[in-house]
């Protein structure tokens, strides 16, 4: 009965497809690029301590966390806005800047919420296809029109793990008019180790129309806590603050994220494990003769030789949950998060068994 009541925009939005959660103990989830070591221990301790204050509303400006981030990133706290996950900052940016009918450039086969929030605020998504599974900045520059308002870039790119180099990004930005907002989603930036990966903090200082998004969900192991942040010019941040629900980041989230920032042992373990796991997976995938993309993130994009949905079910039977990329429009590929040594091994064994069975 509500069909007539909803806004057209809501009709345009596709349901979000999340990674599947394990239904039994012992099942390994490598589907959502979460931290395989669990939450940061320092965050857990800070959350336990903060719990006694839960009868009091949180700081609506997340001042302590913004100050700590600003200090670490060498920015001013007024360049920082905290969200209930970086998802919320995307939504805030669209709510603040997008006018009905304005165009939003989005890479093909990417994180689905860029399109969701574009529709939500009656924007017009303009999807620019990937080239060789990488974001095609030349095509994106050509796609800019008078109506373009926002541009989403994802670096490293989910789900392919590929990156935009510093030089390519700098050159692209020269073709973006000042009145177009560029949202650089860096959900996986902490895992990148390429020398020519862009330093976007310098860009935030130089270009008032750049908004960098980062998250505590992956590297810091706090996906369930929901904390992400945006870095931009003080002016853009000021307007987004107006739109932000006052108490969007709860007390436990603010305390946990603040502590996680300082959890050097955990973060180092996470980083090193990812690099080792990445090398291991590359070697084993080569042995299995499977095509994959060199990744700068904590997941690997793998082209598979059977429908991804089918492989997903078969791997699940062996206790490994991966992400079939059908909902990304790539039904011939899966994305696997880099896990612990044991988890990676379990995935490779399951994949090898699957290959042997398929060969007959």
Interface residue list for ligand PLP (CB under 6 A)? 33, 85-87, 111, 154, 158, 185, 187, 215, 217, 223, 228
Q: Do residues 293 and 325 make contact, with C-beta atoms less than 8 angstroms apart?
A: no
Of 87 and 354, which CB lies nearer to ligand PLP in the complex structure? 87
CB of 18 to ligand PLP, least distance (A): 9
Of 127 and 223, which CB lies nearer to ligand PLP in the complex structure? 223
Q: Which residues contact 321 (CB under 8 A, 6 or more apart)?
A: 19, 20, 21, 22, 27, 28, 29, 30, 31, 312, 315
Q: Do residues 223 and 256 make contact, with C-beta atoms less than 8 angstroms apart?
A: no
Which value, in Å, is the radius of gyration of the alpha carbons in the chain? Answer: 20
User: What are residue 29's DSSP bridge partners?
Assistant: 321
CB of 3 to ligand PLP, least distance (A): 30
Task: Write out the E strands in the chain.
Answer: 28-29, 80-83, 103-107, 124-128, 148-154, 181-185, 210-215, 228-231, 291-292, 299-303, 320-321, 323-324, 333-337
Tokens 């100050």 belong to which residue? 67
Of 160 and 344, which CB lies nearer to ligand PLP in the complex structure? 160
Of 112 and 354, which CB lies nearer to ligand PLP in the complex structure? 112
The Cα 155–Cα 230 span in angstroms is 14
CB of 186 to ligand PLP, least distance (A): 8
CB of 216 to ligand PLP, least distance (A): 7
Of 217 and 354, which CB lies nearer to ligand PLP in the complex structure? 217
Q: Do residues 118 and 95 make contact, with C-beta atoms less than 8 angstroms apart?
A: no
Of 278 and 354, which CB lies nearer to ligand PLP in the complex structure? 278
Mode of pairing for the β-strands spanning 181-185 and 210-215: parallel
CB of 217 to ligand PLP, least distance (A): 3
Give the C-alpha distances (Å, rounded to integers) separating 290 from 32, 52, 141, 280, 283: 21, 51, 33, 14, 10
Give the C-alpha distances (Å, rounded to integers) separating 151 from 14, 159, 175, 185, 299: 20, 18, 12, 10, 24
CB of 106 to ligand PLP, least distance (A): 12
CB of 218 to ligand PLP, least distance (A): 7
Of 21 and 145, which CB lies nearer to ligand PLP in the complex structure? 21
Using Cβ positions, the residue closest to ligand PLP within the complex turns out to be 85
CB of 29 to ligand PLP, least distance (A): 13
Q: Do residues 346 and 357 make contact, with C-beta atoms less than 8 angstroms apart?
A: no
Of 37 and 310, which CB lies nearer to ligand PLP in the complex structure? 37
CB of 353 to ligand PLP, least distance (A): 28
Of 83 and 277, which CB lies nearer to ligand PLP in the complex structure? 83
């Amino acid at each position: 009965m509500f069909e007539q009541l909803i806004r057209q925009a809501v009709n345009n939005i596709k349901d979000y497809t999340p990674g599947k959660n394990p239904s039994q103990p012992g099942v390994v989830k490598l589907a959502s690029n979460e931290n395989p070591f669990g939450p940061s221990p320092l965050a857990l301790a800070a959350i336990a301590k903060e719990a006694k204050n839960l009868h009091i509303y949180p700081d609506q400006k997340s001042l302590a966390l913004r100050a700590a981030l600003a200090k670490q990133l060498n920015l001013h706290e007024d360049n920082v806005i905290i969200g209930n996950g970086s998802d919320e900052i995307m939504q805030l940016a669209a709510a603040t800047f997008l006018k009905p009918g304005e165009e939003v450039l989005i890479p093909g086969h990417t994180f689905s919420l860029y399109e969701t929030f574009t529709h939500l605020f009656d924007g017009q998504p303009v999807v620019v296809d990937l080239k060789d599974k990488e974001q095609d900045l030349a095509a994106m520059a050509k796609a800019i029109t008078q109506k373009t308002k926002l541009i989403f870039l994802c670096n490293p790119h989910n789900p392919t793990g590929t990156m935009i180099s510093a030089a390519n990004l700098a050159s692209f930005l020269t073709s973006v008019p000042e009145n177009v907002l560029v949202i650089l989603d860096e959900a996986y930036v902490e895992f990148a180790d390429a020398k020519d990966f862009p330093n976007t903090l310098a860009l935030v200082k130089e270009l008032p129309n750049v908004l960098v998004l980062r998250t505590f969900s992956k590297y810091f192991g706090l996906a369930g806590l929901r904390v992400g942040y945006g870095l931009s010019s003080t002016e853009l941040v000021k307007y987004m603050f107006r739109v932000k629900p006052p108490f969007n980041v709860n007390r436990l989230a603010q305390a946990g994220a603040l502590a996680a920032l300082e959890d050097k042992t955990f973060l180092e373990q996470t980083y090193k494990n990812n690099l080792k796991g990445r090398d291991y997976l590359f070697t084993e995938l080569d042995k299995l003769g499977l095509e994959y993309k060199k990744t700068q993130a904590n997941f690997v994009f793998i082209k598979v030789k059977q429908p991804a949905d089918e492989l997903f079910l078969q791997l699940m039977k062996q206790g490994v949950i991966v992400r079939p990329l059908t909902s990304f429009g790539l039904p011939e590929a899966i994305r696997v998060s880099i896990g612990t040594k044991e988890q990676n091994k379990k995935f490779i064994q399951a994949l090898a068994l699957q290959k042997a069975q398929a060969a007959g």
